[in-house]
């Protein structure tokens, strides 16, 4: 039976991923390692496929949010060190040890259970301990941090490979809060030095801090959105190439008179005779309903507005008098060499961030690698 191919796809340019990795690799220098964050299916780009390209071009580490994401990478043949950034449940620890994953620890009970799992498997489990310097999410407060380090050092089967924190506002032009977090982190590190505790890897920088706060580069940087060619804000200290284009094909075209209502709730009514194109993509694919009557697409070299409410499986476009036929290619994200539509354009319309746009592209959309 031949394979069914849906006419909605995301083209992921691996050469762009490779280029972006090399840009960051050169930016941080030879004494700082690069950790590529491939959680959420590589920010929607495909974790396994992009991970191979990242490693081949200078990435030392990978990071994910969930153990199951890391296990998929291992099953796909990835042997590079993988840090699980998120909270790991007690029932996931055996798998983490078996797959040689590096576990983030910030709670004594989980540390003890991880030790038991490692001893039972006769393995040494590497951990990175996280301190909350102001993100307010995962991690111990600085006052409790050193005590946990001391505890973990005594547990059999565990090796403290790293300590780290995460910045909450490194994408802001005013770095006052980031510098405050940085000072708190430095105090934690000083407490470890006073106790004679040496940790191989100390890290803090996400993409934004890597770009805008070089003092935080330390032993490694954790780069997520930047590796996919997206920026934290309007500043461009590095030239990066967007790696994902979202495309579809026209499913239907019809000529309608002035005064024709379009889609659910009739939020758009044609002002004159016009042509409408139906695209076979909707919010079930990750095309936000918030783009209704606001977004644009590229058809035959022309920017055309999305009109009416985006539905679960379809989006309508007002072509005006533009000639278009069933099967014509449509660019939702990407460029035709003249016009460009990028994730940050949609993010601005939606009041969100560019990498939410790519992360929410659903599994109904085939990823095509080139």
H and E: helices and strands count for the chain: 11, 20
Burial of residue 370 (number of CB atoms within 10 Å: 0-12, 13-18, 19+): exposed
Q: How many whole angstroms separate alpha carbon 85 and alpha carbon 164?
A: 10
- The alpha carbon dihedral of 245, 297, 359, 206 has a sign of positive
φ and ψ at 113, to 5 degrees? -65, -35
- Name the active-site residue from 39, 126, 247, 249: 39
254 assigned to active site: no
Please, which residues bridge with residue 105 across strands?
A: 129
φ and ψ at 276, to 5 degrees? -110, 135
Strand runs (DSSP E) across the chain, as ranges? 8-12, 33-37, 61-64, 82-84, 102-105, 125-130, 158-164, 201-203, 220-223, 244-249, 252-256, 261-262, 268-269, 274-279, 296-299, 302-307, 315-320, 329-335, 340-341, 366-369
24: its two tokens: 């960051």
Q: How many whole angstroms separate alpha carbon 107 and alpha carbon 35?
A: 24
Q: How many whole angstroms separate alpha carbon 229 and alpha carbon 243?
A: 6
Q: How many whole angstroms separate alpha carbon 182 and alpha carbon 215?
A: 9
- Name the active-site residue from 143, 254, 264, 348: 264
> Do 44 and 243 meet the contact criterion of CB atoms below 8 Å apart?
no
264 assigned to active site: yes
Q: How many whole angstroms separate alpha carbon 46 and alpha carbon 150?
A: 39
- Could you give the residue numbers annotated as active site? 39, 264
């Amino acid at each position: 039976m031949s394979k069914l191919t849906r006419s909605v796809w995301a083209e992921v340019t691996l050469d762009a991923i490779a280029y972006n990795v090399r840009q960051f690799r050169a930016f941080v220098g030879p004494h700082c390692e690069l950790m590529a964050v491939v959680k959420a299916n590589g920010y929607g780009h495909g974790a396994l496929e992009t991970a191979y390209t990242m490693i081949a071009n200078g990435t030392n580490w990978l990071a994910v949010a969930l153990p199951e994401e890391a296990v998929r990478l291992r099953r796909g043949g990835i042997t590079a060190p993988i840090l699980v950034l998120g909270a790991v449940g007690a029932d996931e620890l055996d798998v983490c040890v078996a797959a040689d994953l590096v576990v983030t620890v910030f709670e004594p009970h989980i540390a003890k259970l991880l030790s038991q799992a490692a001893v039972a498997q006769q393995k040494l489990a590497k951990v990175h301990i996280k301190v909350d310097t102001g993100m307010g999410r995962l991690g111990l407060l600085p006052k409790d941090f050193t005590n946990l380090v001391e505890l973990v050092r005594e547990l059999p089967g565990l090796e403290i490979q790293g300590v780290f924190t995460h910045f909450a506002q490194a994408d802001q032009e005013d770095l006052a809060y980031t510098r405050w977090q940085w000072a708190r982190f430095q105090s934690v590190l000083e407490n470890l030095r006073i106790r004679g505790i040496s940790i191989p890897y100390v890290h803090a920088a996400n993409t934004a801090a890597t770009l805008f706060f070089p003092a935080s580069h330390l032993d490694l940087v954790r780069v997520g959105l930047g590796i996919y060619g997206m920026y934290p804000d309007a500043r461009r200290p590095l030239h990066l190439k967007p790696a994902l284009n979202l495309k579809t094909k026209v499913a239907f075209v019809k000529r309608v008179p002035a005064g024709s209502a379009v889609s659910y709730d009739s939020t758009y009514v044609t002002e004159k005779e016009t042509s409408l194109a139906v695209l076979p993509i909707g919010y079930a694919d990750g095309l936000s309903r918030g783009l209704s009557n606001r977004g644009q697409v590229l058809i035959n070299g022309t920017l055309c507005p999305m009109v009416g409410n985006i539905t679960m499986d379809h989006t309508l476009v007002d072509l005006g008098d533009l000639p278009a036929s069933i099967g014509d290619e449509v660019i939702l994200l990407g460029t035709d060499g003249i016009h460009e539509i990028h994730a940050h354009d949609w993010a601005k319309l939606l009041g969100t961030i560019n990498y939410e746009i790519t992360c929410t592209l659903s599994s109904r959309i085939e990823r095509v690698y080139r």
